[in-house]
Amino acid sequence: MLKIVVCVSGGGTNLQAVLDGIDAGIVTNTEVIEVISNNAKAGALKRAEAHGIPGICISPKEFADREAFNQAFTDELCRLKPDLVVLAGFLVKIPEQAVAHFGNRIVNIHPSLIPSFCGVGYYGLKVHEKVLERGVKVTGATVHFVNDGMDEGPIIAQKAVPVQEDDTPEILQRRVMEQAEWILLPKAIDDIANGRIAVVDGKVIKKQ
């Protein structure tokens, strides 16, 4: 059984997609053991509570400095000992010590086709605003392993989503979630849980 911790900052729609996948048997051999948020008012914590899953807030604002937050966050993950950490709209950079400790065991969902529209400053609705400003015709989402860089880890899967002429950032955001994020993330977790995906020498290896 793959024990996962899901980290979320907002409403938790990607978390819900994972929970729904588990309930429907689409995501197998997987258990969410805790949800961590940096926002005490995050809807994700309410979703966790509704599913009987422990939820906790660990916010940088609660600590004297970022180093103290980084240590507290890493300590909580080490206490939980998850097999996989899932960043499902988590708007806080993962501490280097956590990345080092959980090497190749942290995955992230990003709302663009990496390497486009990613890195520092590209998160949430800002990604879709930039997509529309640039005038591209195709966007999408990416699931990738997390390394020390920002959105630079090995890519697990991507799915393209068309951009429509009358899109607003909010409409495009919703389409990307529905047509890509909510499909890619549950599948990636299920693949990892059942040994169909691994990282070898920094590269994603997919098995049938």
* Distance (Å) of CA 114 to CA 13, 25, 47, 96: 21, 29, 28, 21
Closest CA to 145 of 102, 116, 187: 102
44 close to 35: Cβ distance less than 8 angstroms: yes
The per-residue b/e assignment along 158-195, b for 16 or more CB within 10 angstroms, e otherwise, is: bbebebeeebebeebbebbbebbbbbbbbbbbbbbbee
Q: Which whole-number Å values give the CA distances from 188 to 34, 142, 151, 181, in the listed order?
A: 19, 10, 16, 11
Cβ pair 113, 140 in contact under 8 A: yes
User: Is 110 in the active site?
Assistant: yes
Q: Give the active site residue among 51, 101, 110, 128.
A: 110
The edge-to-edge listing of strands for the beta sheet with 138-145 is 55-57, 30-37, 2-7, 84-87, 106-110, 138-145, 155-162
Just list the catalytic residues. 110
